Structure 1
Amino acid sequence: MSVFTPVSRPELETFLAPYELGRLLDFQGIAAGTENSNFFVSLEKGEFVLTLIERGPAEDLPFFIDLLDVLHDADMPVPYAVRDRDGHGLRQLCGKPALLQPRLSGKHVKAPNNQHCAQVGELLAHIHLATRERIIERRTDRGLDWMLSAGAELLPGLDAEQSGLLRSALQEIEAHKAQILALPRANLHADLFRDNVMFEGTHLSGLIDFYNACSGPMLYDIAITLNDWCLDADGGIDLPHAQALLDAYAGLRPFTAAEAELWPVMLRVGCVRFWLSRLIAARDFAGMDVTIHDPREFEVRLAQRQHVALKLPIAL
């Protein structure tokens, strides 16, 4: 189970009392997390998710609270920090920064169809449109510089085929770094995988886990999303799914010529980011009772993205 910091019932009851949400009925750890400790919490006045922040500097946490408030105020189906009786959304539990958020309804979709992908594309566009004029700045700790340094560190431990694939990708990142950073920007979710989106039937009902959110190129967010939502059986791009996602997004926020030019590069960058982070997690948490996603999934996807036929829809 991916609960890095265990919480006892008395500790949790003391923590929850200032929220005045009634008696604690039940709580349980959530196994799906890979970086923070998460718990489902049932109270007399509703269902909530408690997150103990395990990674990243505490000074970044007001960013997450502010961003989610902006998106919640824009009527997007996102969680937000519940305030206690004194108006505090960020508190401490077991020595860790802690947030209590409403639990959103719905279930994750393992095998998305075109309609699912289109709704995800629309939601991503709404996030970008809601923030691009007033970006809340936060530099990601898993950005291009991190990829270059972490990749160089991991190269010696890879086999010849893997190291060739990664080395080529790192050289491409270095060559296009300035162009990527000059692309149109907004606030990004930066981790919009299938297990972070919920549906009720065919209706998108919730988007969760904003702890990788940052400011940066909107195209990067789209590449990360498409790399998980629009896959064929071999890790390649499912073109109908991808076209549905991109068309829905472009209907709200048209792509630029610079984005179209860098699109294949950005798809590869998105693969590199998660290949490296999963390799590090597999190394650091080996033998621990922690959910570790298979690094090879993104190694395969990076290999598949060496030749990209899919183009961005550009208005003529």
Structure 2
Amino acid sequence: MSVFTPLARPQLETFTAAYGLGRLLDFQGIAAGTENSNFFVSLEQGEFVLTLVERGPTQEMPFFVELLEVLHQAGLPVPYALPTSEGLALRELAGKPALLQPRLPGKHITAPNRQHCIQVGELLANIHLATRDNIIERKTDRGLDWMLEQGQQLLERLAEGPASLLRAALAEIDAHKAQILALPRANLHADLFRDNALFEGTHLTGVIDFYNACSGPMLYDLAITLNDWCSQADGQLDPVRAQALLGAYAKLRHFTTAESQLWPVMLRVACVRFWLSRLIAAESFAGLDVLIHDPGEFEMRLGMRQQVELNLPIAL
């Protein structure tokens, strides 16, 4: 189970009392997380999620609280931080930054269809539109410089085939870094995978886990999202799902010529980011009872993105 900081019932009862939401009825750890400790919490007045933030500097937590409040005020289905009776949204529990948020309805989709992808494309565009004119700045700690540095360190520990693939990808990132950073920007979710979206049928009811959120190129966020929602088991893109997601996004925000030109590069960059982070997690948590996603999934996807036939819809 990926709960890095266990909690005792008396701790949680004391913590939740400050919200005025009634007695603690039940709580349980959530096994799906890989970076933070999350708990389902049942109080007399409803169902909630408690997050203990395990990674990242504490001083950046106000960014997440502010971003989620902006998106909540924009009418998007996000888990904004609830304030206590005294108005405190960001608190501390067990020595970690802690947020109590409403538990959103719905469940994760493991086999998305075209309609799911339309909803995700619309949601991502709305996140970008809600923030691009008033960006809340936060530099990601897993950006292009991180990829170049960590990638070079990992090269010597990879077999020749994967090392060759990664070496070429790092050279491409280095060559296009300035162009990528000059693309149109907004606030990004930066981790909008299937396990971070909730659906009831084909209706998207929630988007969770904003703890990789940052400011940056909107196209990067789109590439991250499409690589997960529209990939087949062999790593190739499903054109039907991919065109549905891109079309839904483009109806709300038009792409620029520079974005169209860099789209294949950005799909590969997004693969590198998660291939590297999963390789590092696999090494760091080896032998521990922590959920580790397969690094090979993104190695395979990166291989399949060497030739990209999927274009951005410039005009609809």
TM-score by length of 1: 0.99
Deviation at 1:76, TM superposition (A): 0.4
Tell me the equivalent position of 2:150: 150
Tell me the equivalent position of 1:36: 36
Q: Indicate yes or no: 2:60 matched with 1:70.
A: no
Query: 1:233 & 1:144 partners in 2: Cα distance?
Result: 27
Gapped runs of 5+ residues in structure 1? Answer: none
Query: 1:81 & 1:315 partners in 2: Cα distance?
Result: 38
Q: State the AA in 2 paired with 1:71.
A: L
Tell me the equivalent position of 1:197: 197
Q: Which moved more, 1:128-137 or 1:227-236?
A: 227-236
Query: 2:55 & 2:233 partners in 1: Cα distance?
Result: 33
The CA RMSD measured in Å over matched residues stands at 0.7
Tell me the equivalent position of 1:293: 293
Q: Encode CA deviations 1:245-300: one digit per residue, 9 max, x unaligned.
A: 00000000000000000000000000000000000000000010100000000000
Residues 224-303 of structure 1: pairs in structure 2 closer than 5 A: 224-303=224-303
Deviation at 1:54, TM superposition (A): 0.3
TM-score by length of 2: 0.99
Tell me the equivalent position of 1:48: 48
Q: State the AA in 2 paired with 1:32.
A: A
Query: 1:27 & 1:127 partners in 2: Cα distance?
Result: 31
Q: State the AA in 1 paired with 2:229.
A: W
Q: State the AA in 2 paired with 1:163.
A: A
- Please identify runs of 4+ aligned residues in structure 1 that moved more than 6 A: none
Deviation at 1:232, TM superposition (A): 1.9
Residues 75-94 of structure 1: pairs in structure 2 closer than 5 A: 75-94=75-94
| Identity rate, percent | 74
Query: 2:160 & 2:289 partners in 1: Cα distance?
Result: 31
Q: Indicate yes or no: 2:163 matched with 1:163.
A: yes
Q: State the AA in 2 paired with 1:41.
A: V
Tell me the equivalent position of 2:220: 220
Query: 1:88 & 1:177 partners in 2: Cα distance?
Result: 40
Deviation at 1:214, TM superposition (A): 0.2
3-state DSSP of counterpart to 2:252: coil
Deviation at 1:70, TM superposition (A): 0.4
Q: Indicate yes or no: 2:125 matched with 1:125.
A: yes
Query: 1:228 & 1:298 partners in 2: Cα distance?
Result: 9
3-state DSSP of counterpart to 1:298: helix
Tell me the equivalent position of 1:12: 12
Deviation at 1:202, TM superposition (A): 1.1
Deviation at 1:82, TM superposition (A): 0.5
Tell me the equivalent position of 1:98: 98
Give the number of equivalent residue pairs.
316
Q: State the AA in 1 paired with 2:291.
A: T
Q: Which moved more, 1:13-22 or 1:213-222?
A: 13-22
3-state DSSP of counterpart to 2:206: strand
